Amino acid sequence: MTHYKSIVVLTGAGISAESGIQTFRASDGLWEEHRIDEVATPEGFKKNPALVQQFYNARRDALLHERIAANPAHMALAQLEREWLTRPGHQFLLITQNIDDLHERAGSEKLIHMHGELLKMRCELSQQVFTIHHDIGGDDICACCGEKGRLRPHIVWFGEMPLKLEQIYRALANCDLFLSVGTSGNVYPAAGFAQEAKQADAYTVEINLEPTKQNDLFDKHFYGKAGETLPAFVDSLLSR
């Protein structure tokens, strides 16, 4: 592993689930007894903005609960970034499909939230993004445009384009080690990242609870909880 210089990591719901964060949706298409199209689409927000705001306010409150904390897998990735980037000419990028801030709490900085962030809101007029730790209501006045009802969760909903894809694909095209952690590989475009890395001749590693449909795209597999498996892998990588 000594020849690797550019690492790209993709994380999914599995890594946050180990911290007590509820995964996005169950097999019945419901999340907290709401249909996905009611709370995770632009159409749902237009139809009933109060319901959508209430839904994400509850998710935000849950994320900020004192019992929620970064777990050893988050910590390991922050350590990997920190120590990897001290090596001359080495590069690192962490891409997460998760909307929580647990990677930041662990210390990760070279990070892209491709599906947005729960602790941020966005003005629909200017697209300016604000950090938020409180509830959003329909009467809240936007700081940039001065209008009511213009603030929406800074979340990429179904039917919307994930964030910073150009930067992501550029990193994938130049990486020589790709690590997928806690993601099913079922949701595109993230599901295509392993293939992009393979086309760049990167060595690909999967850490998951069980094999995924993309099993044949990975050169190495580790099955088990990320919080137990990932720290050992990072230690091994950094020791070479």
113 is catalytic: no
Q: Which residues pair with 148 in a beta bridge?
A: 141
Dmax (CA) of the chain: 56
Catalytic residue among 74, 103, 115, 154: 115
SS3 for 165?
helix
Closest CA to 15 of 228, 235, 172: 228
Here the tokens at position 76 are 């390991």
Task: Say if residue 49 is preceded by a cis peptide, omega within 30 of 0.
Answer: no
The strand pairing partners of 6, in sequence order, are 91
3-class state of residue 135 by DSSP:
coil
Give which of 145, 131, 140, 176 is closest to 8, Cα–Cα.
176
Active-site annotation, residues: 115
